[in-house]
Structure 1
Amino acid sequence: MTGIKDAKCVLVVGATAGIGRALALAIHDLDNNPTVIVAGRRQDRLDELAKRRERIQTARVDINTTHDKLKQFVGGVLSEHPNLDAVILSSGIQHIFDFKKPETIDFNKIDDEFNTNYVAVLKLIVLFLPHFLKLSAEGRPSFIIPITSGLAIQPKADVPNYCATKAALHSLDLSLRAQLADTQVRVIEILPPLVESELHDHQGMTPRLSKVWMPLDEFTKQVMEGLVRGDPQVTAGFASKVLEKYEKDKRESVEEAFKNK
């Protein structure tokens, strides 16, 4: 099966910390020696990553921006890296909302969360697709790899909007994979459980969550095994259990229904 081991040039959006950063380093170290482009808001962290590996290059972007700026970003990446054949979409933010105190809910945070976790990711996929479909017509595989969450399937009630954004992206992945099934564009969804990261630092929850989350190194190892195999859905820990419990055969049924429409 075609997997990330077959990619020549991989863009990781949201590579300044956590899962994105770990995957960028792990993919760089694969035997196929891919070029890895790390993208994110914090240039100092991108530069630090580039110093750690010889084939890492940087591209600064804040995906919570306008359509035109996203289009400029994609155009710039493809101009500098016409061999790009994989995109990992790892950017994400998470906020706590208490619906018993509706006066405390910040609509700007809701907008930022939904745009960063879903709308901008959808736009980036659409903007990269013409390039990937061109590769497909040439017989070359490519990879769209969004990172959702086990919370897309079983929500955590204190982060309701985050769960909704990941559920939207999870649903999009199922449809996208079905529509692209007869092309060489591979859609691989990563569904993490609670993983060691900076995602919760601003919530003050890190000390408590650090007692129960999956260590980042362990998660990265399991995910890389799935990416190398080319599994359509790559999970670990809690996310594996909820995917099996609530969505067994769902991906196949979506693909079959689209095929027979």
Structure 2
Amino acid sequence: MPGISVAKCILIIGATSGIGRALALAIHALPSKPTVVVGGRRRARLDELAAQGERFQTVQVDVNTDRANLKKFVQEITIAYPALDAVIFSSGIQHMFDFKKPEEIDLDKVEDELNTNYTSIFTMTTFFLPHFLKLSAEGKPSFIIPITSGLAVVPGPWVPNYSATKSAVHSLALSLNAQLADTNIHVMEIIPPLVESELHDHQGMTPALSKVWMPLDDFTKAAMDGLLRGNVQITAGFVNLNWDHFEKGKIEKIREAFQRQNHNMRIESS
């Protein structure tokens, strides 16, 4: 499987902070000199990134929106950047919910978290696929790269909906990998551990988590190593142990099951 260094134009959605921003800078610095389109809600931060290199392009986008707006966004991006051959989904929000206090659970926040972390990714992937399938038919590789979480493998009960959304994207990545195996579209899932970021600031947890999280620079190096190798799943830190215990060999079994199903369906239809 090819690595990200063959990509010529990479869109990173959720690039204004944390992992998304760090990957944008690292990818921009690659010797292959790709165009890096950075997307996010905060214009000032997009402008700050754009000032760091002429191959940075910016687009303001909030993925927590309806289907029509996401379709319009994807259409405009693929028209503006016909060479676009990779998309990294890095947008995410996280909330804590206590089921012992159900009256305090804000279901609007639950819906926002679900839409931002999962539904928008499913929707945009669906809208990007015609463009990537066209590239595949032309013999050109492309990449779909969702960023999930170690909590997709072993959930964190303090963030139950966040864990569920990341688990959903993880499952989606496995299914996409199986369905697109005979194309030139490559699905590469990044599965981070707890990493230094602003994600937890609104929860008041940053001081405690900062004592145990993986430094962003260390994680970025590990993630870039995996992207350059073309790894289907990219893990780091404590996620390596959980992946070995719960996930090792799963992707091969899913592919085999999908191939058997297709074989059986062909027999039944003949």
Q: Do they fold alike, i.e. is TM over 0.5?
A: yes
> What code does the residue aligned with 1:148 have?
T
Q: 1: distance between equivalents of 2:99 and 2:37? A: 40
Unaligned 5+ residue runs, structure 2? Answer: 262-270
The one-letter code sitting in structure 2 at the alignment partner of 1:103 is E
Give the drift of 1:225. 0.4
CA displacement, residues 62-100 of structure 1 (integer Å, 9 cap, x when unaligned): 000011111111111111100000000000000000000
**Larger C-alpha radius of gyration, 1 or 2?**
2
Corresponding residue SS for 1:72: helix
1:17 aligns with 2:29: no
Task: Please name the residue that 1:165 is paired with.
Answer: 165
Deviation at 1:52, TM superposition (A): 0.9
Letter in 1 for 2:81: H
Superposed, which structure 2 residues align to 1:65-104 within 5 Å? 65-104=65-104
In structure 2, the residue matched to 1:205 is 205
* Aligned-partner Cα distance in 2 for 1:119–1:211: 32
Question: Which residue pairs with 1:57 in the alignment?
Answer: 57
1:229 corresponding residue in structure 2: 229
What SS is found at the alignment partner of 2:167?
helix
2:51 aligned with 1:46:
no
Quote how far apart the aligned CAs of 1:247 are. 1.3
For residues 121-162 of structure 1, what are the alpha-carbon distances to aligned partners after superposition, in whole Å with 9 as ceiling and x for unaligned? 100101100000000000000000000001001011100000
Moved more, 157-166 or 234-243: 234-243
* Partner amino acid, structure 1, of 2:120: A
| Counterpart secondary structure, 1:260 | helix
Query: Counterparts in 2 of 1:109-148, with a 5 A limit?
Result: 109-148=109-148
Question: With structure 1 as the length reference, what TM-score do the two structures score?
Answer: 0.99
Residues 27-74 of structure 1, C-alpha deviations (whole Å, 9 max, x = no match): 011111000000011011001000012200001100000111111111
Distance 1:106 1:191 in 2: 27
Q: What secondary structure does 1:213 align onto?
A: coil
**Matched residue type, 1:6:** V
Structure 1, 242-251 or 4-13: larger mean CA deviation: 242-251
In the alignment, the residues of structure 2 paired with residue 24 and residue 128 of structure 1 have an alpha-carbon distance, to the nearest angstrom, of 20
- The residue type equivalent to 2:56 in the other structure is I
One-letter amino acid of the structure 1 residue matched with residue 79 of structure 2? S
- Once residues 217 and 2 of structure 1 are traced to their aligned partners in structure 2, the CA distance between those partners, rounded to angstroms, is 24
| Structure-1 residue corresponding to 2:254 | 254
Alignment partner of 1:242: what SS?
A: helix
Instruction: Percent identity, please.
Output: 64
Counterpart code for 1:84: L
Rounded Cα–Cα distance in structure 2 between residues aligned with 1:91 and 1:224:
18
> Which runs of structure 2 are paired with 1:166-205 in the superposition (5 Å)?
166-205=166-205
Write the letter of the residue equivalent to 1:254: I
RMSD over equivalenced CA pairs, Å: 0.6
Quick one: distance in 1 between partners of 2:221 and 2:90? 17
- Gaps spanning 5+ residues in structure 1: where? none
What's the counterpart of residue 241 of structure 1?
A: 241
Number of matched pairs: 261
- Consecutive aligned runs of 4 or more in structure 1 exceeding 4 Å deviation: none
Measured in 2, the distance between the counterparts of 1:89 and 1:225 equals 18
Residue identity matched to 1:82: P
